[in-house]
Amino acid sequence: MPEENKAQNSDNQKSDKSPEELMSQVSNADESLDPSSKQSPVDSMADDSNKDIDPTTNVTQPKAKGIKGLLSKINIYLVLFILVVVIAAAAYVVMYFMNQKSETVKIETAQITEATLEELKTSDAVVGDPRQILTIESNAVITGKVVMRDTLDVAGALNVGGALSIDSINTAGPGTFQALQTNDLQAAGNVTIGGMLDVVSTISTGENLSVAGDINGGGRLDIGGQATIGGNLNVNGTISAKGINFDEISINRINITGNIPGVAVGSAAGGGGTASISGTDTAGTVTINTGGGTSPGILATINFTGAFSSNNPHPVITPNGPGCSSISYYVTNVSSTQFSIATSTPSPTGTSCKFNYIVIN
């Protein structure tokens, strides 16, 4: 306590030193309080050892070896960034070349000549066996010929843009043809024709032919067997037949053509009598001009241009006009080549007697 009081008393006393001296004294006191200014014995020894080392001498630090040393020199984040860039660039290059390849793809083609086709037909080279099936999903375009050694089965529609030449065709189902030209058409079943059937040559049918529509024939229609027509038969031209059998026939008009038969006047026509004829073997008109001294007997004889198929045709006569309508006329001397007009009473003299006739075999 006395010492502390002395210190305080001494501090309270006025110093006789100048201000500059006091500042210098304070600075010295601060340096004495700095801990760095005090060195330990170890630090003093280190400083003494460093004085012997040349400052220009390089101190070699020990280096790490192996993978650890390599990794210590590489920045891992930079490596990852470079790796990502390389992968992206590689992917871009691959995609680019793939797109270029798909656009510029070219299919190599080979020309098949006739000699090559002949060689293929005679070649024994076999690809696969009958138990294998070749399936082609895409479309195929074949410019040349295709040779099929076996049957061609088409499950879908067969469209042919050009001509189709085949020896025979068998269709299990319906077939549609825009134009069909065939040398020989044989149908075991029914043949239905919705439009017109134009036949330039001959049609031969071994069975019945049923036609619901019209048949227009520009040529001949030859029927070796029987023909049954359930409906109407309209003929704009001529029907020529050696024989026609009808159960019933309705005819508006019968126009008969043929050569004019011959006629000879008979003795019953009198002296100076004459005879003439117009018509055919089937029908016509006989004109007899009587002379003087008429008598019963044959007035005229008609000679056919051709013989009938039987020896007993049926001539029918009727008077044409009043000339000989009152006499007793009749038909006699009938044969396949002629018939005669006769009277049982004398005909009027100097009279024109006309008779119409028709002969049905």
Whether residue 128 lies inside any domain: the answer is: no
User: Whole-model pTM?
Assistant: 0.39
* CATH number of the structural domain spanning residue 318: 2.60.40
Give residue 322's pLDDT: 92
Segment holding 98, helix H or strand E: helix 76-103
Q: Length of the chain in residues, anyone?
A: 361
Q: How high is the pLDDT of residue 156? A: 76
The alpha carbon of residue 327 and the mean position of all alpha carbons in its chain are separated, in whole angstroms, by 83
**How would DSSP label each residue in 35-64?**
GGGS--HHHHHHHHHHTTS-TTSPPPPPPP
Greatest distance between any 2 Cα atoms in the chain: 228
The pLDDT score that the predictor gives to residue 4 is 47
Look at residue 302 and tell me if it is in a domain. yes
CA 93 to chain centre: 47
Distance (Å, whole) CA 328 – CA 316: 15
Give CA separation, 351 vs 9, 296, 355, in Å. 215, 15, 13
Identify the pLDDT of residue 2: 47
Q: Is position 344 within any domain?
A: yes
Residue 198 domain-assigned (yes or no): no
Residues in CB range of 309: below 8 A, 6 or more apart: 336, 361
For the record, the structure tokens of 10 come out as: 């001494």
**Residue ranges of the chain whose pLDDT lies below 50:** 1-14, 31, 33, 35-37, 42, 53, 57, 59
Beta-carbon count within 10 A of 321 CB: 13
The pLDDT assigned to 77 comes to 82
> 3-state DSSP call for residue 271?
strand
Please tell me what DSSP assigns to residue 322. Answer: S
Position 89 scores a pLDDT of 94
What is the number of structural domains in the chain?
A: 1
Nearest in space to 300 (alpha carbons), one of 272, 271, 267: 267
Residue 197 CB neighbour total at 10 angstroms:
14
Domain region containing 340 = 262-360
